[in-house]
Amino acid sequence: MEPIIFVLAGLALLVILGGAVASVMGRGASEVEERLSRYSGTEFDVASIEETSEGGVSFVTPIADRLEKVVSRRDFAGAIKSELQRADLKLKVSEYLTLGIISVIGFGLVGGLVFGGPLFAALGAVAGFFAPRIYVRQRANKRRKDFDNMLGDTLNLWVNALRSGYSVMQAMETIAAESPPPMSTEFERVIQEVRLGLSLEQALNNLLLRIDSPDMDLVVTAVNVQREVGGNLAEVLAIISHTIRERIRIKGEIQVLTAQVMISGYIISGLPVALVLFLRLSNPEYIGELFVKEEPFLVPGVVPCGWLVLGVGLMLIFSGFMALRKLADIEV
């Protein structure tokens, strides 16, 4: 076990040093590229900037940009980039993958050193593989919920601005100035994208890609239809605002009624896992009987029956938790 731990620790050190070198060299990347990609949500192909002057200053593409170009050609890069934008994380795909590798190695080391044995090291590595994805997804969901909760008040501000004689763009500038994040951040991006040359329809569609909100989809559809066929946009937005407020109210009541089911699911599902970890730390000889390679064997001489017990238990816990989540998941 000790050679494996040293190998994993060496790999982790190499990855960390490589990320540090790439980040330091990445500071020389083009400032133009950084600013444009921040507002437009797309990666501009500004590989290098060369200034032919008396000094002959030249900025070559750093290692981080080269790695990003290699990774961005893969099929999975687009999905990862979308998730990072929805979570509002200023990370490149290569940086995210590097953090994922560090997470796998780190969780594996923790599992092997704290609990002992290759099995827990493997389980820790699996947990480290899913940890960054779970964090990004939870951050994106929280950001979308905050956006949806602010949308009713934002539409009221938008309606009042339009009735005061503001144009659509002026009303969005008011929202960007008066609203708290993430609402102000997203509308500021829409305004910047329009200033950079994108159409309002395309900028709003980019907003939907970053937020993925059904309520905001209604608003974007109303704005696009009004720009094509005309009509009273303030009246339409007022109706949508009332609908969204009622939906938020009903969702809040449903969350209150289903909170007991969700809490029960978390407690019931977490207690067996917590008990096994507690016994592993406090009395390893007792829980270690599940992993002793003695008779009876599930596979002769290879797999103890205790592993079958743990596998079936984990499957039953996961099935029960998903069933409780399904019961509490009520669409409005």
Please compute the mean of the pLDDT values over residues 300-311 and round it to a whole number: 69
Using the structure block, give the residue that is written with the tokens 């993925």.
212
Bridge partners, 59 (sequence order)? 49
Which residue, of 242, 276, 311, is where some domain finishes?
242
Residue 223 near residue 168 (C-beta atoms within 8 A) = yes
Q: Which residues does residue 303 pair with via DSSP β-bridges, in sequence order?
A: 299
**Residue 117 sits in the same domain as residue 184:** no
DSSP strand pairing (49-50 vs 303-304): unpaired
Decide if pLDDT at 306 tops 60: yes
Strand 297-299 and strand 58-59: pairing? unpaired
Q: Which domain holds residue 137?
A: 2-141
With 70 as the cut, is the pLDDT of residue 72 above it?
no
Q: Does an H or E element contain 220, and which?
A: helix 214-229
Asked if 124 and 217 sit in the same domain, the reply is no
**How far, in Å, CA of 89 to CA of 98, rounded?**
15
Domain shared by 133 and 180, yes or no: no
Residues 82 and 127 placed together within one structural domain of the fold: yes
Whether residues 91 and 7 share a domain: the answer is yes
pTM (predicted TM-score): 0.68
Q: Which of 112, 141, 170 is the last residue of a domain?
A: 141
pLDDT average, residue stretch 204-230: 89
pLDDT band at 9 (very low <50, low <70, confident <90, very high): low
* 119 within domain boundaries: yes
- The answer to whether residue 179 scores a pLDDT higher than 60 is yes
Residues 210 and 315 grouped into a single domain: no
- Rounded Cα gap, residues 232 and 162, in angstroms: 10
Position 61 pLDDT exceeds 50: no
Of 216, 242, 268, the domain-final residue? 242
Q: Please provide residue 53's backbone torsions phi and psi, each rounded to the nearest 5 degrees.
A: -135, -170
pLDDT at 264: 87
Reply yes or no on whether the pLDDT at 147 is more than 60.
Answer: yes
Domain match, 292 and 199 both: no
Please state, in angstroms and rounded to a whole number, the distance separating the CA atoms of residues 144 and 137: 11
The model's pLDDT over 272-293, given as tens digits with 9 standing for 90+, comes to 888 888 888 888 888 777 766 5
The dihedral built from the CA positions of residue 285, 291, 294 and 296, taken in this order, carries a sign that is: positive
Number of structural domains (the chain) is: 3
- For residue 277, being part of any structural domain is answered with yes
- For residue 247, tell me if it sits in a domain: no
